[in-house]
Chains A and B, each alone.
Chain A
Amino acid sequence: MSDVSFVRTEMLPEKAPPVTSAGAIGWMRENLFSGWFNTALTLVSLVVILYVLSAIVPWVLSPTWSGTSLNECREMLAAAGHNGGHGGACWGVIRERWIQLLFGFYPSELYWRPIAAFILLAVALAPILFSDKVPGKLIWFSAAYPFIFPWLLWGGTVWGPIAAAAGFGIGFVVYRILSDAVSSLAGMIGGLVAALIWWLALSGLAVSALESILPIGIEAVESRKFGGFMLSITIGIVAIACSLPLGVVLALGRQSDLLIVKYLCVGFIEFIRGVPLITLLFVASTLLNIFMPPGTNFDIILRVLIMVTLFASAYMAEVIRGGLAALPKGQYEGADSLGLDYWQSQRLIIMPQALKISIPGIVSTFIGVFKDTTLVSIIGLLDPLGLSNAIRADANWNGIVWELYGFIALLFFVFCFGMSRYSMYLERKLQTGHR
């Protein structure tokens, strides 16, 4: 028997880690005070944080909630012992104008409508965002919601949204008939054409006919009364909801073997990505009117919605293309070898995985689009930033800056942070072990 021979006769038991490497003390030793240089950095950082907070906290905690003008706020601050021009915030402006920052010039007796629309939005989103925690039947409400939402906000006859929904029904029926009889591609093209014919030519007649027989509706509100966060959220939600499916279609089109489809998609994506959003918005606000036949009234918010959606979907397409590129070729082959056709394998195998990989990028695009909605203030829509200029035009609040921007930033932060956290939750939920 040589010296290297060794046989273990009993297994070693587990032991607790040493105290210095576990618990709060262990954590601080490792993360804050490991070595003299890191200790010095920790102390310097603490000093800087304290210095910044000592300037900000008193400014935020200023007793000016009841002020009715900037001058009154300054008097209150002086009386409370805050000194200097920037000694404290003037929160009176938020108390007086917060409703306007939320709803713009929407008629105050109709505030219940946007409020109801946004509460119902939460209901409609629940089965999409938290599919495992709410009853599955609720998804039918989510499907109907895109027609309820504009009706609640803009009002008018109830037949409008019903006619719009009918277009989808017509398109679907034509698709089913043609895809059984000819092919699924012919079905899709036929369905799209049928729906477009309905929307552009026939639905207007149908709506006015039905309206004359059975006039049901709520009071209409014009687009120029829209404003504030209601406007930002409306544009953001519509652009987000429409850009994802459009982005999927564009990404698939870009990878398609059909040359014309492919180059149409590439051309669209590259053109939109090569142009600043503000240019597209100017086109929406001014140029489109020149191209339209005189007398047509094409709603300004609708025009902006279309432009922002197209802009977002081009970015979305590239994010999703990244997800598609990250999928191993074996997934396509696995799906093919089982006899799944192109759309089945895209829907059941490829897209669920590609979208999952792209979640961080998709949500970044969502957040970016939501914040970009503030650009509409440049073409004269009264989003929160546009309103902040309007508020400053009031003699009482002339010269107020930080409080308004701070409030607007806070609201945007709440939404964007919420989206960001949700995406992290979703990534954890969809984690099914490494490949």
Chain B
Amino acid sequence: MSALAIDREIDRSKMKVSDEVAIEILNMNKWFGTFHVLRDINLTVNAGERIVIAGPSGSGKSTLIRCINALEEHQQGKIVVDGTELSNDLKNIDKIRSEVGMVFQHFNLFPHLTILENCTLAPIWVRKTPRKEAVERAMHFLEKVKIPEQADKYPGQLSGGQQQRVAIARSLCMMPRIMLFDEPTSALDPEMIKEVLDTMIELAEEGMTMLCVTHEMGFARQVANRVIFMDQGQIVEQNEPEEFFNNPQSDRTKLFLSQILGH
């Protein structure tokens, strides 16, 4: 099993999938120039789902979740996030982005601002939260990711794992209803992967809707309620984690799993 197994009992009492649709993607197509990166993607995500997207590099999985908050533009089809359709209207895009949190592979913290300022910036400027309230909320989430004592430092002074946890706290400060994770542990030293995964598990335990591109199959097996396997810009297979890992259907999935789990 890749990297590390999760060593604690997961509290599933609040991990409930509701009937409410959080994200709906219909016949979505995207090209980079003439290269067809995403082909006829259809995906419905209900509130409370924890979805892991796996696949070989270049399969379009990052591009898919980047389309959900319009960091990439799709050329065909329809994406509806929380009842708002993604269109060229900038107001819609900003609205969706403030409802959807995103965590990047390379953290993308703002190096010229302190940890606290990183966390309060968007609530103050986008949500117009009063400064005092924004600071209280930021400290609350920094405590949750277990680094309140670093609040006055700059990102450059923190380790990779700490920076990624700050990035998660920064997203949470916007009170998002959906969180997107784009390979959140791929740039981290092995020692630091666990602390970030722990934070993500806690988030899942609270019932957050999560879409996560990752190679951490331990996380997928224990936390996800659905695993999606992508190859060449298409969804090749999706299933519950038990079925997905123990009984993969397509040959491409079998090959991928044997390579990623085989050693």
Contact = CB atoms under 8 A, between A and B. Distances in A.
- Judge: A and B partners, yes or no: yes
A339 B92 CA distance: 10
A338 B112 contact: no
B112 A356 contact: yes
Contacts of B185: none
A433 interface: yes
A10 B254 CA distance: 51
B37 interface: no
A331 B111 CA distance: 9
B108 A333 contact: yes
A338 B170 CA distance: 9
A340 B122 contact: yes
Given A334-B104, A435-B111, A341 B69 contact: no
Nearest to A353: B112
B69 A337 contact: yes
Q: Is the interface of B mostly helix, strand, loop or mixed?
A: mixed
Q: Is the interface of A mostly helix, strand, loop or mixed?
A: helix
B78 interface: no
Contacts of B200: none
B104 A330 contact: yes
Contacts of A245: none
A348 B121 contact: yes
Interface string B151-186: 000111100000000000011001000000000000
Interface in A213-240: none
Interface string B86-106: 000010001101101110101
B125 interface: yes
B102 A341 contact: no
Interface residues on B, range: 20 to 34
A349 B110 contact: yes
A352 interface: yes
B126 to A, nearest CB: 5
A430 interface: yes
In this complex, the member of A339, A349, A434 whose beta carbon has the largest number of chain B beta carbons within 10 angstroms is A339
Interface string A347-376: 011001100100000000000000000000
In this complex, the member of B94, B104, B108, B155 whose beta carbon has the largest number of chain A beta carbons within 10 angstroms is B108
B95 A353 contact: no
Nearest to B94: A339
A338 B156 contact: no
B122 A432 contact: no
A326 to B, nearest CB: 12
A344 to B, nearest CB: 5
A338 B174 contact: yes
Nearest to B98: A339
A336 interface: yes
Contacts of B90: 341
A344 B71 CA distance: 17
Contact of A339 (B97, B106, B110): B97
A433 B111 CA distance: 8
Contacts of A353: 110-112
Contact of B112 (A333, A334, A341, A432): A432
B38 interface: no
B71 A333 contact: yes
Contacts of A352: 112
B125 A337 contact: no
B109 interface: yes
Contacts of B170: 338
Interface in A415-435: 430, 432-435
Interface residues of A, number: 23
B111 A339 contact: no
A353 B100 CA distance: 25
A384 B171 CA distance: 58
Nearest to B126: A339
Contacts of A331: 108, 110
Interface string B109-121: 1111000000001
Given A338-B97, A339-B94, A339-B98, A433 B156 contact: yes
B128 to A, nearest CB: 12
Contact of B125 (A330, A340, A430, A433): A340
Nearest to A434: B156
Contacts of B101: 337
A327 to B, nearest CB: 10
A338 B126 contact: yes
A435 B171 CA distance: 20
Contacts of B155: 433, 435
A67 to B, nearest CB: 56
Contacts of A344: 125-126
A138 B250 CA distance: 70
A337 B97 contact: yes
Nearest to A347: B125
Contacts of A435: 111, 155-156
A346 to B, nearest CB: 12
Contact of B109 (A334, A336, A348): A334
Contacts of B97: 336-339
A338 B154 contact: no
B63 to A, nearest CB: 13
A341 B157 CA distance: 28
Nearest to B121: A348
Interface string A176-189: 00000000000000
Nearest to A355: B112
A275 B137 CA distance: 55
A341 B126 CA distance: 8
In this complex, the member of B101, B104, B109, B122 whose beta carbon has the largest number of chain A beta carbons within 10 angstroms is B122
A140 B156 CA distance: 34
7 contacts: A330-B104, A334-B109, A337-B100, A337-B104, A337-B108, A430-B112, A432-B154
Given A344-B126, A352-B112, 15 more contacts: A328-B106, A330-B106, A330-B107, A336-B97, A337-B69, A337-B71, A337-B101, A337-B104, A337-B108, A339-B97, A339-B98, A339-B126, A340-B125, A348-B121, A432-B111
Interface of B: 69, 71, 90, 94-95, 97-98, 100-102, 104, 106-112, 121-122, 125-126, 154-157, 170-171, 174
Interface of A: 328, 330-331, 333-341, 344, 348-349, 352-353, 356, 430, 432-435
